């Protein structure tokens, strides 16, 4: 009879310890933001590059950074566009830089026809 009493006490203590640990750890785990705090800080500090289309007839945007790239869409004169990055490609008006635009469809536009609003975009 004594063995059964000791065994019951040990089991009850173990179960109580597990429940107490789970109860204390539960709120701490629940308060961490989804995706982690580092992801949130990175998203907030990522630079945003913008430009204004200065081609009077509008700007043709292409699938690759060059005049031979398939036309994907166009932007009207004066449109504000979001720029992801820049690279080199075919020269347009003595400028060989092309911007990767992220408005709706990812497409390339000649930097010759896009006036930077703020800092110049990063390199791709």
Distances (CA, A) of 66 to 70, 71, 75, 87: 9, 10, 17, 10
**The model scores a pTM over 0.85:** no
The pLDDT mean for the chain works out to: 79
Which residues share a beta bridge with 85? 100
Please name the fold of domain 49-117: SH3 type barrels. (2.30.30)
pLDDT at 23: 43
Spatial distance between the Cα atoms of 92 and 54, rounded to a whole number of angstroms: 13
Residue-wise pLDDT tens digits, 24-58: 444 444 444 454 444 455 456 678 999 999 999 99
Distances in whole angstroms, Cα of residue 41 to Cα of each of 31, 36, 85: 17, 9, 21
Residue 11: pLDDT band (50, 70, 90) is very low
Q: What is the pLDDT of residues 61-81, one digit of tens each?
A: 999 999 999 999 999 999 999
Q: Tens of pLDDT along 72-115? A: 999 999 999 999 999 999 999 999 999 999 988 899 999 999 99
Instruction: Give the start-to-end residue ranges of the domains of the chain.
Output: 2-45, 49-117
Q: What is the DSSP annotation of 24-77?
A: HHHHHHHTSPTT-HHHHHHHHHS--EEEEE--TT-EEEESSSSTTSPEEEEE-T
pLDDT-derived band at 3, boundaries 50, 70, 90: very low
What confidence score (pLDDT) does residue 5 get?
A: 53
């Amino acid at each position: 009879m004594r063995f059964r009493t000791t065994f019951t006490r040990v089991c009850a203590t173990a179960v109580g310890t597990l429940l107490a640990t789970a109860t204390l750890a539960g709120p701490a785990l629940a308060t961490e933001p989804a995706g982690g705090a580092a992801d949130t800080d990175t998203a907030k500090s990522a630079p945003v590059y913008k430009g204004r289309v200065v081609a009077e007839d509008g700007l043709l945007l292409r699938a690759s950074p060059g005049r031979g790239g398939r036309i994907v869409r166009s932007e009207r004169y004066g449109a504000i566009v979001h720029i992801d990055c820049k690279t080199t490609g075919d020269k347009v008006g003595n400028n060989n830089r092309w911007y990767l635009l992220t408005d709706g469809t990812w497409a390339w536009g000649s930097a010759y026809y896009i006036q930077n609003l703020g800092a110049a975009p990063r390199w791709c």
